RNA sequence: GGGCGGAUAGCUCAGUUGGGAGAGCACAGCCCUUACAAGGCUGGGGUCACAGGUUCGAGCCCUGUUCCGCCUACCA
């Protein structure tokens, strides 16, 4: 017997442990069963579960559990990401609190510290995944810095280098002065801001006059090595080749001509700072200009900044502006909208910075990745994301992969101190070919995303040709948020195609971002984050998971509202209670046969089985297309409103009655439908479904719901006839209830019902009169073609029948007339609408015949209904007169 | 600057190929009916952002406008 209330906490742990103990989540390296594989988007090892993970994990778990139950050899491969910059930042802060810093500690000691930290806290998020029910194969858990994955990283690096797809060079990269490292273009977040445009005067060195340049970054004038104008610009043509002198520092630089310059912007003359601006960098190359680096790695002014040396870059800007103004070289300042790049890890403003870095030549890789999607080998769902994908891939630029931090995959490159040879190697080399043993490994580590790009095959054992790799690559689907479409998905596509010659996944399902109830992005600083673990404690994990699935409509962000979780918790409560109801009606130890003998079933039985059959199809189709919300709401609708509200109520007379045969038949069907529903629900709410399943006397030839076969759409129990008949019964019931409700009659009051029907409906109603009695709370039901209602009857019109409820003594004539008039008005409006259509010759001639026919039928029905209502109104008026 | 998405009931959102708009929550009325008052039954509530167009017919297709969100970009 189930407890009166569902208490999620203990139950969740109990069943999760049970599943683990039974090893249900373990995949087979070799199997006759078809493979189904998802690799988890590895959360940062420093992280803790946020609501975005919860959504991501829930959707993956739904797919995995569904496929597992459907007989697939299912692998959900879990793991974590070493998250270079983020993790290093966390440990550095920790050190800071202890009054230390990594430089004092030294590289090796520092890395030891990070590993220690990882051992202590790295399991946090994994345990949180378990707590929300993730059915991952934990025996295959991976970490991006594992031995095996590190080997894959080196292998990829070396091969790309050997093919000329990795190179080293001095370029302008994005530099974070706080993290002290290069960043890829993607790792820079642009933020629109209202800034200023400063107009600065540069004097000609010979004679009078000046040229004015406009800039958003006045302090960089210290690194200017030219002024550029458009060669076609009549205003400046004659000045090309002249020299100007930079104020204060007195450097002499030329005025040059370059097509790049937009004459309409600012003054049409641009200061050129090749070491501090991407465009100027290109211009500097074109014109052989000097590259002067005025900054240091921590964002301060370098030696080259002369009097400003040592100042912070923003401090320097203020000072430069003041000094220029003082000597009359600041012509004017205007407002200017611009976008400023920030470090995606620490939000510091990034700096275009000249330095030597490693790059991946990415175009050749991107071409394959574009083709795979164009050719349909990989399907992106929803399809709208394909455009973004193509757009990014087609305009891709070389990927800066070196990072000046310590935590990560060290670049497998050594430099010979003897001859300067560059050695790129899978293994640590001991000696250069020149004989020198003085080898120094590159100090940099690789972009974390470099290793996660290999995730779908490195985790399966690559570069070895393992059974796992053969069985599970390409994986079935990747489920993730759009925020890492480029960072991760795109790069996995490129690397997968390059090294496996096959796409890493067949489908990519991109889900939405979760925002707060007001549509704001959740962030710690705004204080509007929803802690998923708090949700699971408060409402139970299942209710929370079901909510997330129900929210997951394609192509729209989720505005998360706790109220909705509350609502689904009530749904679980409903399920719990119907389970209790069943357990009360099944004798202890009684075995319920799952087999359904169609011949002996009642109408209600056949109806609910038919409905079950169709909900199975709906769920199946929805999940096939990743319409999680549709699957969830189909189940909600079915279990609550069809199973509980109608079916359970309908069979109560049989259950409480004396006929053991019909009692048994009803309970059999009920148990069958409910057990099947639990199986359908299991991927969404694994805990409560298992708890109930284990406590009811089901016999399915397996010991856990999570390995029970998933209900299949081809069960042959659809029964359109039963559904039609049931609709007649339900119509009658609803009609009586409607009269009761509208006339404010007590639910406990037993009413009489007279139903005037067609032959067809008469038969159906007579056969199922017991349902009417129970559901509409009626007694003395009369059904026939020649029903004449007594004085003071309320009435309702339904297809094929007219229902009267005699109300002598209770009757409120005005209320009933009002009710009928309301109904009449509605019908008249509807009729008018159809009438207009039918009197339109164009409609008759151009619309499909079936549509025209349907409208004609409808019109006739309305007409009849209207006539009946009018009759009833007249009748009441007559009664009223005769009573007066 | 380019691109994408959204605007439907008081709120949050569904709406598959164009044939008279749905759900949940909230609201109102009546009910403690032996699974469930964390419940049941009934009801009210919408010019589908705006303006045009295509069509016999538009929430849905086309064009434009407004507002909101996001992605992306080397005009200093």
Q: Which residue spans within A72-162 are E strands per DSSP?
A: 73-77, 79-80, 142-143
Residue A737 CB closer than 7 angstroms to strand B?
yes
Mean pLDDT calculated for residue range A103-119: 91
SS3 A105: helix
- For residue A640, count CB atoms less than 10 angstroms from its CB and return exposed for 0-12, middle for 13-18, buried for 19 or more: middle
pLDDT at A474 over 70: yes
Q: What percent of chain A has pLDDT over 70?
A: 98
Cis peptide before A474 (omega within 30 of 0): yes
Residue A649 CB closer than 7 angstroms to strand B?
yes
Nucleotide nearest residue A560, measured CA to C1':
B12
**Stronger pLDDT, A738 or A713, i.e. the higher one:** A738
In 3D space, the residue among A469, A410, A461, A497 whose CA is nearest the CA of residue A145 turns out to be: A410
Residue A526 CB closer than 7 angstroms to strand B?
no
DSSP secondary structure letters along A505-534:
EEEEEEEPPEE-TTSPBP-TTTT----HHH
Residue A400 CB closer than 7 angstroms to strand B?
no
In 3D space, the residue among A132, A115, A150, A120 whose CA is nearest the CA of residue A54 turns out to be: A132
The whole-number Å distance from A497's CA to B2's C1' is: 29
The whole-number Å distance from A188's CA to B64's C1' is: 36
The whole-number Å distance from A745's CA to B29's C1' is: 11
Residue A158 CB closer than 7 angstroms to strand B?
no
Q: How far apart are CA A725 and CA A641, in angstroms?
A: 18
Say what the pLDDT of residue A677 is: 94
Residue A167 CB closer than 7 angstroms to strand B?
no
Mean pLDDT calculated for residue range A808-815: 77
Residue A564 CB closer than 7 angstroms to strand B?
yes
pTM: 0.92
pLDDT at A756 over 80: yes
- For residue A379, count CB atoms less than 10 angstroms from its CB and return exposed for 0-12, middle for 13-18, buried for 19 or more: middle
Q: How far apart are CA A18 and CA A440, in angstroms?
A: 52
Place of tokens 């389970």: A579
- How high does pLDDT run on average in chain A? 90
Beta bridge partners of residue A214, listed in sequence order = A199
Report in angstroms the alpha-carbon separations of A768 from A142, A244, A650, A675, A726.
Answer: 61, 101, 10, 26, 9
Q: Find the residue closest to B76 using CA and C1' atoms.
A: A215
Q: What is the DSSP letter of A790?
A: P
Summarize pLDDT for A408-439 with one digit per residue, the tens.
999 999 999 889 899 999 999 998 888 889 89
What is the torsional sign of CA A468, A470, A471, A474? positive
Mean pLDDT calculated for residue range A333-351: 88
Confidence of residue A598 (pLDDT cuts 50, 70, 90): low
Q: How far apart are CA A878 and CA A51, in angstroms?
A: 66
Mean pLDDT calculated for residue range A466-486: 93
Say what the pLDDT of residue A592 is: 63
Summarize pLDDT for A371-381 with one digit per residue, the tens.
999 888 999 98
Confidence of residue A364 (pLDDT cuts 50, 70, 90): very high
CB A649 within 8 A of CB A774: yes
Residue A212 CB closer than 7 angstroms to strand B?
no
What is the torsional sign of CA A764, A770, A773, A775? negative
pLDDT at A689 over 90: yes
pLDDT at A798 over 90: no
Chain A residues 268 to 307 with C-beta below 7 Å from nucleic strand B: 268, 270-271, 277-279
pLDDT at A588 over 80: no
For chain A, the residue count is: 884
Nucleotide nearest residue A855, measured CA to C1':
B19
Q: Which residues contact A204 (CB under 8 A, 6 or more apart)?
A: A210, A211, A242, A243, A244, A245
Token pair in block for residue A33: 């069963």
Nucleotide nearest residue A630, measured CA to C1':
B14
Residue A836 CB closer than 7 angstroms to strand B?
no
Q: How far apart are CA A374 and CA A379, in angstroms?
A: 9
In 3D space, the residue among A128, A151, A127, A249 whose CA is nearest the CA of residue A200 turns out to be: A249
The whole-number Å distance from A858's CA to B18's C1' is: 20
Q: What percent of chain A has pLDDT over 90?
A: 57
Nucleotide nearest residue A228, measured CA to C1':
B76
Q: What's the ipTM?
A: 0.94
Q: How far apart are CA A457 and CA A210, in angstroms?
A: 62
Residue A265 CB closer than 7 angstroms to strand B?
yes
Say what the pLDDT of residue A206 is: 85
Q: How far apart are CA A873 and CA A828, in angstroms?
A: 15
Confidence of residue A32 (pLDDT cuts 50, 70, 90): very high
Q: How far apart are CA A225 and CA A291, in angstroms?
A: 7
The whole-number Å distance from A648's CA to B41's C1' is: 15
Residue A219 CB closer than 7 angstroms to strand B?
no
Say what the pLDDT of residue A94 is: 87
In strand B, the nucleotides that come within 7 Å of a protein beta carbon are 3-6, 11-15, 19-20, 23-25, 29-36, 38-44, 55-57, 68-76
pLDDT at A523 over 80: no
Say what the pLDDT of residue A737 is: 93
Mean pLDDT calculated for residue range A745-751: 87
pLDDT at A595 over 60: no
Q: What is the DSSP letter of A295?
A: B
pLDDT at A63 over 90: yes
The helix (run of H) or strand (run of E) holding residue A94 is: helix A84-97
Summarize pLDDT for A695-725 with one digit per residue, the tens.
887 767 789 999 999 998 877 788 889 999 9
Say what the pLDDT of residue A587 is: 72
CB A266 within 8 A of CB A235: no
Confidence of residue A335 (pLDDT cuts 50, 70, 90): confident
Q: How far apart are CA A270 and CA A221, in angstroms?
A: 11
How far does chain A reach from its first CA to its final CA, in angstroms? 61
Say what the pLDDT of residue A844 is: 92
Confidence of residue A9 (pLDDT cuts 50, 70, 90): confident
Say what the pLDDT of residue A213 is: 93
The whole-number Å distance from A811's CA to B29's C1' is: 17
Q: How far apart are CA A549 and CA A292, in angstroms?
A: 56
Report in angstroms the alpha-carbon separations of A74 from A23, A61, A224, A462.
Answer: 12, 11, 61, 19
Report in angstroms the alpha-carbon separations of A129 from A27, A281, A512, A723.
Answer: 18, 47, 20, 43
Mean pLDDT calculated for residue range A333-349: 87
The whole-number Å distance from A558's CA to B5's C1' is: 13
Summarize pLDDT for A624-636 with one digit per residue, the tens.
989 999 899 999 9
Say what the pLDDT of residue A70 is: 95
Q: What is the DSSP letter of A28?
A: P
pLDDT at A283 over 80: yes
**Stronger pLDDT, A825 or A18, i.e. the higher one:** A18
The whole-number Å distance from A744's CA to B45's C1' is: 20
pLDDT at A594 over 60: no
pLDDT at A25 over 80: yes
Rg (CA), chain A: 37
Confidence of residue A591 (pLDDT cuts 50, 70, 90): low
Say what the pLDDT of residue A596 is: 62
* A711 CA to centre of own chain: 26
Confidence of residue A593 (pLDDT cuts 50, 70, 90): low
pLDDT at A526 over 90: no
Summarize pLDDT for A200-245 with one digit per residue, the tens.
999 998 878 899 999 999 999 999 999 999 998 889 988 898 999 9
Q: Find the residue closest to B39 using CA and C1' atoms.
A: A574
Token pair in block for residue A756: 């005037």
Q: Find the residue closest to B36 using CA and C1' atoms.
A: A577
- For residue A70, count CB atoms less than 10 angstroms from its CB and return exposed for 0-12, middle for 13-18, buried for 19 or more: middle
In 3D space, the residue among A546, A493, A459 whose CA is nearest the CA of residue A385 turns out to be: A493
């Amino acid at each position: 017997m189930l407890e009166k209330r569902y208490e999620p906490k203990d139950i969740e742990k109990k069943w999760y442990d049970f599943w683990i103990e039974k090893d249900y989540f373990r995949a087979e390296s070799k199997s006759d069963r078809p493979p189904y594989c998802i690799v988890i988007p590895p959360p940062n090892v420093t992280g803790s579960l946020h609501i975005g993970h919860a959504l991501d994990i829930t959707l993956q778990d739904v797919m995995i559990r569904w496929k597992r139950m459907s007989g697939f050899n299912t692998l959900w491969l879990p793991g974590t990401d070493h998250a270079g910059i983020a993790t290093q930042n966390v440990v550095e802060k920790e050190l800071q609190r202890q009054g230390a810093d990594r430089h004092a500690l030294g590289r090796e000691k520092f890395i030891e510290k990070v590993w220690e930290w990882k051992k202590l806290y790295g399991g946090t998020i994994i345990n949180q995944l378990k707590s929300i029910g993730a059915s991952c194969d934990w025996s295959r858990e991976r970490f991006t810095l594992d031995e095996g994955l590190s080997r894959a990283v080196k292998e990829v690096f070396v091969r790309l280098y050997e093919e000329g797809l990795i190179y080293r060079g001095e370029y302008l990269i994005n530099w974070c002065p706080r993290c002290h490292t290069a960043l890829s273009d993607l790792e820079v977040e642009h933020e629109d801001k209202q800034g200023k445009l400063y107009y600065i005067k540069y004097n000609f060195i010979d004679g009078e006059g000046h040229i004015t340049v406009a800039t958003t970054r006045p302090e960089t004038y210290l690194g200017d090595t030219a002024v550029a104008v458009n060669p076609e610009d009549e205003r400046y043509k004659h000045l090309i080749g002249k020299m100007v002198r930079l104020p204060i520092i007195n450097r002499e630089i030329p005025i040059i001509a370059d097509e790049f310059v937009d004459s309409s912007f600012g003054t049409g003359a641009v200061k050129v700072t090749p070491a501090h601006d991407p465009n100027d960098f290109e211009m500097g190359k074109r014109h052989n200009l000097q590259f002067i680096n005025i900054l240091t790695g921590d964002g301060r002014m370098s030696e080259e900044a002369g009097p400003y040396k040592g100042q912070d870059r923003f401090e320097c800007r203020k000072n430069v502006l003041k000094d220029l103004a003082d000597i009359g070289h600041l012509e004017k300042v205007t407002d200017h909208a611009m976008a400023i790049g920030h470090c995606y890890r620490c939000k510091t403003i990034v700096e275009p910075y000249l330095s030597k870095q490693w790059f991946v030549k990415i175009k050749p890789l991107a071409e394959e990745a574009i083709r795979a999607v164009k050719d349909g080998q990989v399907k992106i769902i929803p399809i709208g994301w394909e455009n973004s994908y193509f757009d990014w891939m087609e305009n891709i630029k070389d990927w800066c992969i070196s990072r000046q931090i310590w935590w990560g995959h060290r670049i497998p490159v050594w430099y010979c101190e003897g001859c300067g040879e560059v050695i790129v190697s899978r293994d640590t080399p001991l000696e250069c070919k020149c004989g020198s043993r003085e080898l120094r490994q590159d100090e940099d580590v690789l972009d974390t995303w470099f290793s996660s790009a290999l995730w779908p095959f490195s985790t399966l054992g690559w570069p070895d040709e393992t059974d796992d790799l053969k069985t599970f690559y390409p994986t079935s689907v990747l489920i993730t948020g759009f925020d890492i479409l480029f960072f991760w998905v795109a790069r996995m596509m490129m690397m997968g195609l390059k090294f496996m010659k096959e796409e890493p996944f067949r489908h990519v399902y991109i889900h939405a971002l979760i925002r707060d109830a007001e549509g704001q992005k959740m962030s710690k600083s705004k204080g509007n984050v929803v802690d998923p673990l708090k949700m699971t404690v408060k409402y139970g994990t299942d209710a929370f998971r079901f909510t997330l699935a129900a929210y997951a409509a394609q192509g729209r962000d989720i505005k998360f509202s706790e109220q909705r979780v509350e609502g689904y918790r009530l749904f679980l409560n409903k399920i719990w209670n119907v389970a209790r109801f069943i357990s009360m009606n099944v004798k202890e130890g009684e075995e319920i046969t799952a087999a359904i003998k169609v011949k002996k079933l009642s109408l209600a039985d056949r109806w609910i089985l038919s409905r079950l059959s169709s909900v199975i199809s709906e769920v199946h189709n929805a999940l096939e297309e990743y319409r999680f919300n549709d699957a969830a709401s189909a189940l909600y609708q079915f279990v609550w409103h069809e199973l509980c509200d109608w079916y359970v109520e309908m069979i109560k007379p049989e259950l409480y009655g004396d006929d053991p045969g019909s009692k048994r038949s009803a309970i059999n069907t009920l148990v069958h439908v409910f057990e099947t529903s639990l199986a359908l629900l299991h991927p969404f709410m694994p805990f409560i479904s298992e708890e109930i399943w284990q406590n009811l006397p089901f016999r399915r030839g397996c010991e856990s719901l999570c390995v029970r076969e998933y209900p299949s759409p081809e069960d042959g129990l659809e029964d359109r006839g039963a559904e039609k008949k049931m609709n007649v019964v339900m119509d009658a019931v609803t009609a009586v209830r409607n009269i009761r409700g509208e006339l404010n009659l007590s639910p406990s009051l037993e009413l009489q019902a007279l139903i005037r029907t067609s032959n067809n409906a008469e038969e159906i109603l007579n056969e199922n009169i017991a349902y009417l009695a129970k559901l509409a709370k009626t007694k003395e039901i009369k059904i026939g073609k020649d029903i004449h209602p007594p004085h003071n009857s309320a009435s309702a019109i339904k297809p094929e029948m007219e229902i009267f409820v005699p109300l002598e003594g209770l009757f409120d004539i005005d209320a009933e007339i009002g009710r009928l008039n309301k109904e009449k008005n509605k019908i008249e409006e509807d009729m008018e609408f159809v009438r207009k259509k039918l009197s339109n010759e164009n409609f008759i001639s151009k619309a499909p015949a079936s549509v025209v026919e349907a409208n004609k039928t409808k019109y006739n029905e309305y007409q009849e209904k209207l006539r009946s209502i009018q009759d009833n109104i007249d009748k009441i008026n007559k009664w009223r007169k005769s009573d007066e």
